[in-house]
Structure 1
Amino acid sequence: MAAVARAAQPPLWTRSFIAGTFLNFFIAGNYFMLMVIMTAYALNVYQAPPAAAAFCASAFIVGTLVSRFLCAPLMEKFGRVPVLVVACVCEVVFSVLYLVHEPLLALIGGRLLHGFAYGTASTTVATVMTSLIPSQRKGEGIGYFMLSVTLGSAIGPFVGIFLSNNFGYDWVFVVASVLVALAVPASLLLKPAKGSAVKGRPAKARAEEAAAADAASGARTGAPAEERREEAMATQLEAAADDPCGAGAAATKPAAMSAPVPEDGSDTARVPSTHLEEKVTEKLEHSPLSRFVEAGVLPIALVCGLLFFGYSSLLTFLTPYADQIGLSRAASVFFVAYALAMFVTRPFTGRAFDRVGPHPVMVPAFVAFVVGMALVAEASNDFILLGAAMLLGFGVGTVQSCGLAMAVRVTSDARLSVGNATFYMLLDVGVGIGPILLGLVVPLIGYSALYLAMAAVGALALVLFMIVARTEKGTRTA
């Protein structure tokens, strides 16, 4: 029976899935290879002040964050694959321009534009890939897809540091340019899910996407229109039961519930998956922000963004902390152990997510993050620090991939680009503001206390996750 069930599953490893996964590795490897050496490059080559040198690195994140707001309208206007191809070409151009050794202000401007290109490429390829992955295999497929980032985060920094220390910065720029150049042919191999390609005419594109939303987004694949109509009615009755006086029923009912389900079966009246999502959707539905932000994704994106705020403390302060406590040797391979744990656990957690839902998978991941941060704070030898790296790799990797799976499975294909942009935007905010805020705190409390505080942030994220996900409809907990 198990063999029959596996045979009945739709294919995952298609040409487009493989091409998109490799593409994501190419752009992630380029990003991490350059990010890890950029501050030192500005200090050593330009003799830039420390603050300006640090901004050469962080300017990239600023450009990425801006792209999250704009790439969804760009995809709607020009199409997903055309936007992806142009973004990959721009990444190649900006990577090559580092070899020109332009003035410092031009370097910062180039970093901003490179970040915009990377943010557009990463959001667009995620949108294409999440629309391609069969609904029954969302968790598994996204888990495999996100392994490309894991490999990039492990190989990129290692290659960047090795080349800069042994051959000079120009070799880093050459290798980074060649690596990201491979993303261009990979982007040309991508074929979007049928009916999901945006043609450059928004009205026509929205009509096409609405007709294909059931098949592409996986919200309720194959459900007849009558069943969806009954589901929407049942949800409305449930909401009415929660408000026995009926005073707020008309005022608080989201438009997604009250709108009729089209007779053609298109998924334009998606029922929100949680009561919290219903409330957020109601607030933002008629706001100008709705063009750039997918309301239903905000709750889980905020939770994941909070966890990535804690994760930013590792990126920023692990090296000086390890030097202080005499564990520099372990710190040099910390992110290798971190990435290895991600690589090993993500496929299993993705499949488990598809079978049992988010709670049994993500709760242990949040706990692993809390314990990992506590071990970093109290590390006294190499084994403790590397054990913490593996716990954190499991925790961060699982929360990121399963959080994205939660986000995309409640987003119709017509809004998938906005949903992906919203999710990654909140992760960027967490990683971007972390170094700034935590940099103000470290002189006051020290590194060890900082990592204990980040363990508390992880515990807070777990509490918020339980609030966000407790009412998710259709989630199996056994």
Structure 2
Amino acid sequence: MNTTNEKLWTWSFVNVWLSNFFVFLVFYLLFVTMPIFIIDTGAGEGAAGLVITIFLLSAILIRPLSGHWVENLGRMPILITALIIFFVSSALYLLTEALPFILLIRFLHGIGFGMATTVLGALAADVIPDRRKGEGMGYFAMSMNFAMVIGPFLGLTLLQSFNYTIMFLSCAIAAVVALLTGVTIRVPGTRTGATVDRGSVIPKLDGLFEKSVIPIAVTGAIVALAYAGVLSFVSVYATDLGLGQAASYFFMVYAIVLLISRPFTGRWFDQYGENVIVIPAIVTFGIGLIVLSMANSAIMLLVSGGLIGLGWGTMVPSMQTIALQKVPERAGSATATFFTIFDIGVGFGSYIVGVAATGIGFSSLYFNSSFVVFSAVFLYMWLHGKKKRSNHQAEIEYTS
């Protein structure tokens, strides 16, 4: 059977993509601008870091519960609730500059973000044809990748050209678009409501995580330790090198490489299996870190951005697809488990990288981080890769 005969870009997939894009657009826009806003209000750098931490903390805490609710109470009720929370909290930024209220809004915003991204990941898995899962999840992940490029650029541009009121108003508008596109998603009939006990709101402790997903999530979290250093400090590193202007194009190159490679890597995942994609992706990311550590020109900096974009941008959706394939009937719980552990890796990585960079410098940091990434190849093979069935191609009935 030829997988290309199964339509991928359906009405529902487009709307899942758009809703996820606008949710992450707000996330990345505020990720780079909220610390500036807090410092400008006179609260200090410690408080600026706290507004990021409290958002991520609430998102991480809500994810396991969200996965349970998605499976037990249905996709759409949880999606609509999450997107309303996300919109309301986005709009509340317009009403106050007081730090205690900002922190409360950030906590609420993180809850909406964690819930929304969990259910949207499950919905993406629902509407993508089974035999195009790798390809489809790759395209879905591009909604996050594009938001990562556009969000910071838009946020900083709005601050330079307008003011915080316009910036927060833009976030509220984006959140409205996320809500409007979300409510028009057409969920497959078997996924519209509960699949277990509709009255089960508070899960048992052993029901919070999908155990089969933990190995691949842990592997991703190890690589995320290194990626946190790129996400948080590449602009600072580039400025120290006198390449501040080139740094603004780093993630643009990242996104362009993703756009070019995505049609191929996703199809190869479906055709040849996960090992053929995941292992080279991890290695490519590690090589990108080495190039970054040696960057002494704009060209080298941008080449590293392309390698990191190709490696990281291919690895994450591939690992998420593996997680979904572990328990396809519980996509919400699988998504929640994967990203809960994954986000913990990013959170710890941001702290570890900040401490390490103070002692050894960014160049040494990125170079040594590459070995953490390379070690993930062996961890992947030990926890998952060697267990992959050899008849993967026959199993998915793919023919070119």
1:440 pairs with 355, 359, 362, which one?
355
Corresponding residue for 2:7?
11
Corresponding residue for 2:144?
149
Q: Is the 8 A contact 2:70 2:333 kept in 1?
A: no
Q: Is the 8 A contact 1:91 1:117 kept in 2?
A: yes
Q: What letter is aligned with 2:197? A: A
Q: Is the 8 A contact 2:24 2:147 kept in 1?
A: yes
1:155 CA drift (Å): 0.9
1:78-227 counterparts in 2 under 5 A?
Answer: 78-199=73-194, 202-203=196-197
2:343 pairs with 397, 410, 428, which one?
428
Corresponding residue for 1:255?
none
Which stretch of structure 1 is more off in the superposition, 352-361 or 324-333? Answer: 324-333
Corresponding residue for 1:460?
375
Q: Percent same amino acid at aligned positions?
A: 31
Corresponding residue for 2:254?
338
1:34 is aligned to 2:30: yes
| CA distance in 2 between partners of 1:25 and 1:374 (Å) | 30
1:48 CA drift (Å): 1.4
1:10 CA drift (Å): 2.5
| CA distance in 2 between partners of 1:95 and 1:336 (Å) | 26
Quickly say closer, same or farther: Cα 1:95–1:371, change in 2 above 3 A: same
TM-score (normalised: structure 2): 0.93
| CA distance in 1 between partners of 2:242 and 2:15 (Å) | 43
Name the SS of the counterpart of 1:144 in structure 2.
Answer: helix
| CA distance in 1 between partners of 2:390 and 2:188 (Å) | 25
Considering only aligned residues, what root-mean-square deviation do their CA atoms show, in Å?
A: 2.0
Corresponding residue for 2:364?
449
Bigger relative CO (Cα 8 Å, ≥ 6 apart): 2
Q: Is the 8 A contact 2:74 2:191 kept in 1?
A: no
| CA deviation vs aligned residue, 1:81-121 (integer Å, no higher than 9, x gap) | 11101111111111111111241011112111101101100
| CA deviation vs aligned residue, 1:343-392 (integer Å, no higher than 9, x gap) | 22122111100000011112221111111101111100000000000100
> Which of the pair has more CA radius of gyration?
1
Which stretch of structure 1 is more off in the superposition, 67-76 or 352-361? Answer: 67-76
Quickly say closer, same or farther: Cα 1:477–1:330, change in 2 above 3 A: farther
1:146 CA drift (Å): 1.1
TM-score (normalised: structure 1): 0.78
Q: Is the 8 A contact 2:271 2:393 kept in 1?
A: no
Quickly say closer, same or farther: Cα 1:393–1:74, change in 2 above 3 A: same
| CA distance in 2 between partners of 1:197 and 1:374 (Å) | 47
Corresponding residue for 2:316?
400
1:360 is aligned to 2:276: yes
Name the SS of the counterpart of 1:203 in structure 2.
Answer: coil
1:236-247 counterparts in 2 under 5 A?
Answer: none
| CA deviation vs aligned residue, 1:38-77 (integer Å, no higher than 9, x gap) | 1111001x21121111111222111110111210232244
Q: Is the 8 A contact 2:73 2:198 kept in 1?
A: no
| CA distance in 2 between partners of 1:469 and 1:394 (Å) | 20
| CA distance in 2 between partners of 1:316 and 1:6 (Å) | 39
Quickly say closer, same or farther: Cα 1:473–1:288, change in 2 above 3 A: farther
Q: What letter is aligned with 2:180? A: P
- Gaps spanning 5+ residues in structure 2: where? 395-400
| CA distance in 2 between partners of 1:22 and 1:475 (Å) | 35
Which stretch of structure 1 is more off in the superposition, 72-81 or 166-175? Answer: 72-81
| CA distance in 1 between partners of 2:199 and 2:131 (Å) | 25
1:472 is aligned to 2:388: yes
Quickly say closer, same or farther: Cα 1:358–1:475, change in 2 above 3 A: farther
Q: Give the length in aligned residue pairs.
A: 391
Name the SS of the counterpart of 1:48 in structure 2.
Answer: coil
Name the SS of the counterpart of 2:189 in structure 1.
Answer: coil
